[in-house]
Amino acid sequence: MAHYKILGRDPYWMNFYGLMLLTLIEVGAVGLDLSAFAESNGWTEKELTFGILWGIGIPKFIMIAAIFMHLYGDADSKILTLTALFPAFFIIVMVLFIGLTHPDAVTSLPDWCRPGNYGL
């Protein structure tokens, strides 16, 4: 159990509830038909879903790293944060170079990765 509280509660349970809420939003973004809302705002449905997933994915990453990886709230969290961020730089560079140098990196997903083509 943590020695600090988030809104007066155990941080692990608060993090769990937050992650479940964000996961429900992600499932809704992928499963619901957002085409009418997207077109009324000048986007395609894929762009809107992609934006929602990125917008939800970043806070989920921060929540997992901060609480479960003890990068926030512990006495030695500063050195743990620096240790965790060192390889993150190389991972980001690797992903960017692969994504920016391969011409079909984003548009050539196999059919089984696309919603509606699961063959179930």
Instruction: List pLDDT tens digits, range 62-116.
Output: 888 888 877 776 666 667 677 777 888 888 887 777 666 666 655 665 665 666 6
Residue 6, classed as helix, strand or coil, is strand
3-state secondary structure 56-84: HHHHHHHHHHHHHCCCCCCCCHHHHHHHH
Using an 8 Å Cβ cutoff, are 25 and 56 in contact? yes
CA dist., res. 56 & res. 41, Å (int): 20
This prediction has a pTM of 0.59
Using an 8 Å Cβ cutoff, are 11 and 2 in contact? yes
Using an 8 Å Cβ cutoff, are 77 and 70 in contact? yes
Instruction: List pLDDT tens digits, range 45-69.
Output: 888 888 899 999 999 998 888 888 7
- Angle CA(58)–CA(39)–CA(57) in degrees, nearest 5? 10
